[in-house]
Amino acid sequence: MVNIKRITIVLLSLFLAFSPIIENAQFSYATEEASWEDVVNHSQVCAALKAYAMAEYKLSHTFSFGSADPITSAIVNFSYNQWYNIAKENGIDLTALQNSLKYRVANNGALQFFYSGSFIQDYNTLIQKYLEKQGLTGNNYPLDKLVYSGEIFTDLSGYVCYVYIQNNYNSQLTGAGSQQGQNADITNILSFKGTTYKYTDDDLKVLIQENGSNVGSYKQYSIPLNVSSNLTNVSFKYRSVTNNNVLTEWVRFDDQWTNNLGNIYKTDSEGYYTSDLAIIKYTNSNNYSSYWLGNVGAYYVNGLPPQLSYYYYNRQSQINYPNTNEAIVNASKYGANAARTAVGKNAAISVGVQGGENAQDAIENYLKDNEPEEPTIDPDVPADGEPDLDNPDDPENPNVNIGFPIGGIFANGQFSFQMPDLSNLPNNAQGLPSNFSLSALKTKFPFCLVYDIPAILSLLEDTPQAPRIQGQIDLGVFNYNIDINLNYFDNVMAMVRNIIFLLYCFALIFITKELLF
């Protein structure tokens, strides 16, 4: 006679005993079910991805894309916030769409974030409805050919790369590729009126070559007047950014790109222009800083010295040249033959560069004088509040906390984000649902005891930092400052910590022997 009680006990016991192994199996294969804590512990690449993903979900909530204005041909922005309600009215839940984060392993071993093209198609539909409502239709604006797709990934060095292919308003495909390294997988899939295009590296090369002045460009990053930049390689690296932040070192221009300064594109009426992506910091009246992807480059006007211009796209669908209060990051790379321009669409003011003056010295001095201040972090800044997605009317403060990292793409580089601390990430070991599940067992006494001990140790866990003792001794006649920094012993302490850990392992072995035998 089969003993049901014993069978049940056996099955439940097996589940309890092997649940850590099951969860580790999920973690090892980095499936979509893996928690982000498991992902970040998998490798340094994953750690970088996690930090990036946390930033990216904020990027996605400042997502906007550009399409050409039928009159000026300038790229017009449609902000996420602006589109949220429109999408909602049409039954498209943007949050649900943006939660479809997918990641896979690229050919070069990097992990990639990939966003499904269906999101873009839905957005495309919304563009059409919006423009129809605005009366902007016709042959000058073939919306059915306006397709965006993008893929964001990071390579093994932690650099974030972005791939983008856009179909411009003249129904010409402009290829845009971005890759860090030689073998990055930049395969993109476009859906265009039901037809699927798959672009390989060779396709992009062909596109890059065939489109003349639109060679290899992110069209939306180019200046208006049909001039675009040769952005065949783009990469940038994130640093931490806090609210009321100041940028730490931030942008890195791809070396290959800087060698392409010889790629000069002629405008219709304003001479020559070369440009590159830059991260430009913009601080609004509330002292909230956002970081925009714009262009920085040398700008040549016939008969005038070369000038540096930079600009970015704001949320009001206008192209603004930043004023003198805004910082150019790493613009010194273009210090040679460049000067800053004033505000204005056709700005052509040279600063400090006169006839006969050494342009490079003048530019370098100018940029040095306007160098951004050292970043400061205000420890009293309160945490970001919950967003009101139903009333997204404050685009300057797009602090969104979904509670779980999600994927997204940005079509024109407009974004602002905050790099959160890793300790603030959702921890699946806390606040688990009360339904009967393996994870829920972790919160039930007495099964929780196994997890409580590491949880207590987590309170003590932190990034090692050498103690530093600073003080002042007041002896009346003179003061003596004390500054003792033990970071001199960092290498030694690293070895000591490893030895302590080995001793701890030995201790566990002996404890096990006493416990079990």
Interface residues with another protein (CB under 8 A)?
Answer: 2, 4-10, 12-14, 16-18, 20-21, 430, 434, 436, 441-445, 447-448, 450-467, 486, 493, 496-498, 500-501, 504-505, 508, 512, 515-516
**Total count of residues recorded for the chain:** 517
Q: How far is CA 185 from CA 61, 181, 192, 201, 235, in A?
A: 26, 10, 21, 8, 14
- Closer to another protein by Cβ: residue 20 or 344: 20
- Closer to another protein by Cβ: residue 134 or 463: 463
Q: How far is CA 447 from CA 20, 440, 493, in A?
A: 12, 10, 36
Q: How far is CA 332 from CA 306, 307, 321, 395, in A?
A: 14, 13, 18, 30
Least distance in angstroms from the C-beta of 26 to another protein: 15
Query: Which residues on adjacent β-strands are paired with residue 93?
Result: none
- Closer to another protein by Cβ: residue 317 or 427: 427
* 316: DSSP letter: T
- Closer to another protein by Cβ: residue 457 or 482: 457
Least distance in angstroms from the C-beta of 212 to another protein: 55
Least distance in angstroms from the C-beta of 516 to another protein: 7
Least distance in angstroms from the C-beta of 67 to another protein: 47
Q: How far is CA 401 from CA 44, 191, 300, 383, 468, in A?
A: 24, 31, 44, 11, 35
- Closer to another protein by Cβ: residue 377 or 496: 496
- Closer to another protein by Cβ: residue 343 or 499: 499
- Closer to another protein by Cβ: residue 13 or 107: 13
Least distance in angstroms from the C-beta of 47 to another protein: 13
Q: Amino acid identity, residue 206?
A: V
Who contacts 213 (Cβ-Cβ below 8 Å, separation ≥6)?
226, 227, 228, 265, 266
Determine the Cα–Cα distance for residues 225 and 267; give it in Å rounded to an integer.
Answer: 7
Using alpha carbons, select from 294, 293, 278, 287 the residue that is nearest to residue 246: 287
Quick one: 421 exposed, middle or buried, by C-beta within 10 A (0-12, 13-18, 19+)? exposed
446 prior amide bond cis, ω within 30:
yes
Number of Cβ within a 10 Å radius of residue 30: 17
Least distance in angstroms from the C-beta of 21 to another protein: 8
Least distance in angstroms from the C-beta of 249 to another protein: 22
Least distance in angstroms from the C-beta of 365 to another protein: 40
- Closer to another protein by Cβ: residue 401 or 443: 443
Buried b (16+ CB within 10 A) or exposed e, 481-494: eeeeeeeeeeeeee
Least distance in angstroms from the C-beta of 72 to another protein: 54
Is residue 294 within 8 A of residue 301, CB to CB? The reply is no
Alpha carbon 146 to its chain centroid, in Å, reads 24
Determine the Cα–Cα distance for residues 8 and 510; give it in Å rounded to an integer.
Answer: 34
Least distance in angstroms from the C-beta of 470 to another protein: 13
Alpha carbon 495 to its chain centroid, in Å, reads 35
- Closer to another protein by Cβ: residue 219 or 442: 442
Using alpha carbons, select from 184, 270, 218 the residue that is nearest to residue 75: 218
Least distance in angstroms from the C-beta of 469 to another protein: 10
Q: Amino acid identity, residue 97?
A: L
Angle between helices 80-89 and 117-133 (to 10 degrees): 90
- Closer to another protein by Cβ: residue 13 or 316: 13
- Closer to another protein by Cβ: residue 343 or 494: 494
